[in-house]
Structure 1
Amino acid sequence: MKGQGRLAAWGVGLAVLVALPFVYRDPYHLHILVLILIWSFAYTSWSMMGRFGLVSLGHGGFMGIGAYVTALLWNHLGLSPWIGIPVSMIAAGALALIVGYPCFRFRITGHYFVLVTLALSGIVLQVITATRDYTGGSLGYTPNRASSGNKLLALQFDDKTTWYLIALAVWLFGIVVWHWVDRSMARYALEAISEDEDAAAAAGVNVTAEKLKITLLSALMTALAGAIYCQYQMFITPDTVSGIAVSLQMVFAAIVGGLFVSLGPTFGAIITILLAETLRIGFGTKAVGWDNLVYGVLLVVFIIFLPKGILGSVLDRLKPQRKVPRAHEQEAVQIARPGA
């Protein structure tokens, strides 16, 4: 009954989300919802690794590859994003394997792994900036507009409702993948690895392979998020889709929302997007960079006081507490069951 109730709640929630743009058509609010859904997918992608102790600060690089490779293939080679997006995902996956394999093979973990991924994010950002003749550098890059008859081929739509439904489908795909990993045997292997690699290896777990699998999955999904973001915004800069700032934003959102809950990154996205919009509307250009400062402060606060995040802590409080038998009740049990 409990499982059926949960499925019913998900069904009702999805029905409401699908019907929303047909009932409420305010362009600005739909724009905010699209951003929340796209970034929720990106944060969920990061949490695939983060929940198992693989803290990466290189996901900004994967997102940047997804965005820029898709746009460059369209502008310079005329390749449709329907082809460019898979190519960009393959490129991000290849980079994840190139960086991840030596790290996992030679047991580079903890702070050292964080530093390696940090360098990866910085390198991707520098490459995008340095190749300004092709990428536009720090000035940004705009995919070429398609003619009215090629909108679907170019994955370019002016209608917010269409983009909302696309973003909703991508977000739902991320939630499904999260639950698939959560219910797979790989989850137990990765949890064992995060506790003690040597013990996991002694139990028969292929540590390197399991880490590579989850890293590859996370990188592919993050690149997809970058490509979808690029197609929606039709303008990207290195700072908005790549670099350490984007990676830190992913870490913040996932931890604040709830790293070990499927909807935790979504709650984190709601917080980050609304915070950024509030600062932009309230302070304009005077608040440039303030969101990163606020992210850092809140991240420290949440790690100390709410390590399970907002949604994770709420769900913990809602769980029924197991009643601990009192001393005289335990004695009664022992009397009733003398052989126990």
Structure 2
Amino acid sequence: MSGRVAAPWAIAAIVLVALPFVYSDPYHLHILVLVLIWSFAYTSWSMMGRFGLVSLGHGGFMGVGAYVTALLWNHAGLTPWIGIPIAMACAGALALVVAYPCFRFRITGHYFALVTLALSGIVLQVITATRDWTGGSLGYTPERTKGSQLVALQFDDKTVWYLIALGVWAIGLVIWYRVDRSMGRYAMEAISEDEDAAAAAGVNVTAEKLKITVISALMTAFAGAMYCQYQMFISPDTVSGIAVSLQMVFAVVVGGIYVALGPTVGAVITLLLAESLRIFFGTGAVGWDNLVYGVLLVTFIIFLPKGILGTLLERRARGGDAARATPSRAAVGSPARPG
């Protein structure tokens, strides 16, 4: 990365880190923490979605990450530092169990989406049915620590949580960037275009698909665990199920599925929309956000398939190309006058 490109990123990083020390309003910090955590979750979905693997089961992975972490803490006394990796391993194993048969027998497109949709619904039903352990539809609360907040990963200071969420968000961007610059990206793009041609060229189609699916599932489970530790309360509707999966699809499509910061833009829009409806309409607007998500999703798929950020960057690139392609008058000289 050149110095001219790196300088704005360095300035942005300094501003983001310094923000809570300059402006520490609890409500606004709370919104920023949620935006950063959900941005990481949306980025995890875009890891698959950008290659044509439309999953509607990521609500299941997020629910596994949140509930397994909380259950291990409450019932086994395992610190989240141990519980979160276990939860991620469970989500990764679930992804393998579901995805391997699909990829092995070429269940793709809308059939794959339906399989993952079923996964999301099954996880939601399991959480609801095992109410003696998970609290069912009433929700579940991790026990407050009586010892070290660091060991329990429970902090009362929102500035601490903002810095943690900022680090998680940055890790998500790094993972996205590494995948984007890897050979696996070209393999997945070839697979999304034509599986038979990719296989004939020597690409292990099943292995490549499984790799990106497991990475996405692990990231989503981690996002669920972080959301649980921050909110200290989870319910089936907030971290699992079809609604959460569709929210991820909406946010990524609106922000820009092919741009690293697209999911972040989508997270800002979804969170601000939900908060605005809650503030202005209160309990009378329960469920309205999902209705608005659906309408906007259809609108963006038709008119802005690359999302807000993706479309802006595309238009900027076109403008730059047009400027370079049009020589200035000084460069070509004045037209010759007839003698």
Q: How far apart, CA to CA, are the structure 1 residues paired with 2:277 and 2:326? A: 52
Cα distance, 1:324 vs. partner? Answer: 6.0
Correspondence 1:213 to 2:211: yes
Q: How far apart, CA to CA, are the structure 2 residues paired with 1:158 and 1:83? A: 21
Matched position secondary structure for 2:148: helix
State the match for 1:185 in structure 2.
183
Q: How far apart, CA to CA, are the structure 2 residues paired with 1:12 and 1:79? A: 39
Cα distance, 1:127 vs. partner? Answer: 0.2
State the match for 2:20 in structure 1.
21
State the match for 2:107 in structure 1.
108
Matched position secondary structure for 2:260: coil
State the match for 1:334 in structure 2.
none
What code does the residue aligned with 1:129 have?
Answer: T
Q: How far apart, CA to CA, are the structure 1 residues paired with 2:24 and 2:227? A: 21
Cα distance, 1:150 vs. partner? Answer: 1.5
| Matched pairs, number | 324
Matched position secondary structure for 1:20: helix
1:241-260 mapped onto 2 (5 Å cutoff):
241-260=239-258
Correspondence 1:145 to 2:140: no
Q: How far apart, CA to CA, are the structure 2 residues paired with 1:77 and 1:141? A: 15
**Misfit runs of 4+, over 3 Å:** 322-326
State the match for 1:278 in structure 2.
276
Cα distance, 1:7 vs. partner? Answer: 1.4
Q: How far apart, CA to CA, are the structure 2 residues paired with 1:321 and 1:290? A: 42
Q: How far apart, CA to CA, are the structure 2 residues paired with 1:126 and 1:54? A: 24
Q: How far apart, CA to CA, are the structure 2 residues paired with 1:267 and 1:4? A: 25
Q: How far apart, CA to CA, are the structure 2 residues paired with 1:83 and 1:211? A: 28
State the match for 1:321 in structure 2.
321
Coordinate RMSD, CA, aligned:
1.1
State the match for 1:79 in structure 2.
78
What code does the residue aligned with 1:22 have?
Answer: F
Matched position secondary structure for 1:321: helix
What code does the residue aligned with 1:277 have?
Answer: E
Cα distance, 1:293 vs. partner? Answer: 0.3
State the match for 1:39 in structure 2.
38
Q: How far apart, CA to CA, are the structure 1 residues paired with 2:225 and 2:218? A: 11
What code does the residue aligned with 1:181 have?
Answer: V
Matched position secondary structure for 2:202: coil
What code does the residue aligned with 2:111 have?
Answer: Y
Q: Pick from 265, 268, 291 the counterpart of residue 267 of structure 1.
A: 265
State the match for 2:157 in structure 1.
159
Correspondence 1:293 to 2:291: yes
Q: How far apart, CA to CA, are the structure 1 residues paired with 2:129 and 2:303? A: 41
| Residue ranges of structure 2 left out of the alignment (5+ in a row) | 328-339
Cα distance, 1:325 vs. partner? Answer: 8.6
Correspondence 1:95 to 2:89: no
| Residue ranges of structure 1 left out of the alignment (5+ in a row) | 327-340
Q: How far apart, CA to CA, are the structure 2 residues paired with 1:208 and 1:129? A: 33
Deviations 1:265-303 (A, max 9, x none): 000000000000000001011000000000000000001
What code does the residue aligned with 2:263 have?
Answer: P
**Identity in percent:** 78
What code does the residue aligned with 2:110 have?
Answer: H
Q: How far apart, CA to CA, are the structure 2 residues paired with 1:40 and 1:132? A: 30
Cα distance, 1:3 vs. partner? Answer: 3.2
State the match for 1:67 in structure 2.
66
Correspondence 1:204 to 2:208: no
Q: How far apart, CA to CA, are the structure 2 residues paired with 1:104 and 1:325? A: 48
Matched position secondary structure for 2:102: helix
Cα distance, 1:4 vs. partner? Answer: 2.4
Cα distance, 1:225 vs. partner? Answer: 0.1
Q: How far apart, CA to CA, are the structure 1 residues paired with 2:195 and 2:75? A: 46
Matched position secondary structure for 1:111: helix
What code does the residue aligned with 1:228 have?
Answer: M
Q: How far apart, CA to CA, are the structure 1 residues paired with 2:166 and 2:111? A: 36
Matched position secondary structure for 2:60: helix
Correspondence 1:226 to 2:190: no
Correspondence 1:125 to 2:158: no
Moved more, 313-322 or 118-127: 313-322
Q: How far apart, CA to CA, are the structure 1 residues paired with 2:122 and 2:259? A: 31
Q: How far apart, CA to CA, are the structure 1 residues paired with 2:325 and 2:13? A: 39
Q: How far apart, CA to CA, are the structure 2 residues paired with 1:307 and 1:108? A: 24
What code does the residue aligned with 1:229 have?
Answer: Y
Deviations 1:198-251 (A, max 9, x none): 010011100000000000000000000000000000000000000000000000
Q: How far apart, CA to CA, are the structure 1 residues paired with 2:261 and 2:113? A: 25
Q: How far apart, CA to CA, are the structure 2 residues paired with 1:265 and 1:24? A: 25
State the match for 1:337 in structure 2.
none
Q: Pick from 173, 176, 198 the counterpart of residue 175 of structure 1.
A: 173
